């Protein structure tokens, strides 16, 4: 029996499912297909749904998506089998420490703290974030490197 791949994903990856003309949208889509096939487990902090809702709203304001696409997109996201973990105190404390050490936003640090806690790689499409954490021992994978 093959092992199921497990990744923590951030909002930058998920948003590529809706902004399909962006670079590496095909790689993000392959993660989504694997999720649907049951070959992969995708996990994010509970913050993920808020970031997706905000990202969809921003895409609407920038005229990348219609309002119907935003509503359908958020509904479809909520239906996905993405495990969303609570931002408990242990996770928040670790995220604060990562934020301080790496000079990253708390939101980004929450994804990193969750990946660290679970021992799973974090997949990101945020180049600035990747650059900030590249000197750390944390297992962060660039979306373009997903096979």
The tokens for 66 are 């219609």
The pLDDT-based confidence of 55 (bands split at 50, 70, 90) is very high
Of the chain, the percentage scoring pLDDT greater than 70 comes to 97
Specify the DSSP class assigned to residue 9: E
Strands 5-9, 122-124: pairing kind: parallel
Q: In this structure, what token pair is assigned to residue 62?
A: 């920038």
Q: What is the pLDDT of residues 84-95, one digit of tens each?
A: 988 688 899 999
Average confidence (pLDDT) over 13-39: 94
| Per-domain residue ranges of the chain | 5-145
In this predicted structure, what is the pLDDT of residue 125? 96
Query: pTM for the complete prediction?
Result: 0.92
Higher-confidence residue of 124 and 3: namely 124
Q: How far is it, in rounded angstroms, from Cα 55 to Cα 142?
A: 20
- With b for 16 or more beta-carbon neighbours within 10 A and e for fewer, the 42-68 pattern comes to bbbbebbbebbbebbeebbeeebbeee
Q: Check pLDDT > 70 for residue 2.
A: no
Homologous superfamily, domain 5-145 = 5'-nuclease (3.40.50.1010)
């Amino acid at each position: 029996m093959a092992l199921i791949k497990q990744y923590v994903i951030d909002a930058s990856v998920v948003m590529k499912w809706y902004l399909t003309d962006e670079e590496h949208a095909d790689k993000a889509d392959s993660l989504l297909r694997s999720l649907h096939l049951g070959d992969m487990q995708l996990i994010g902090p509970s913050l993920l749904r808020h970031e997706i809702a905000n990202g969809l709203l921003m895409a609407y304001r920038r005229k990348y998506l219609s309002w119907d696409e935003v509503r359908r997109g958020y509904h479809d996201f909520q239906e996905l089998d993405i495990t969303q973990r609570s931002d408990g105190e242990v996770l928040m404390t670790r995220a604060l420490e990562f934020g301080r050490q790496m000079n990253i936003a708390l939101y980004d640090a929450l994804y990193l703290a969750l990946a660290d806690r679970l021992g799973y790689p974090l997949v990101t499409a945020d180049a600035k974030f990747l650059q900030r954490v590249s000197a750390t021992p944390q297992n962060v994978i660039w979306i373009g490197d997903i096979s």
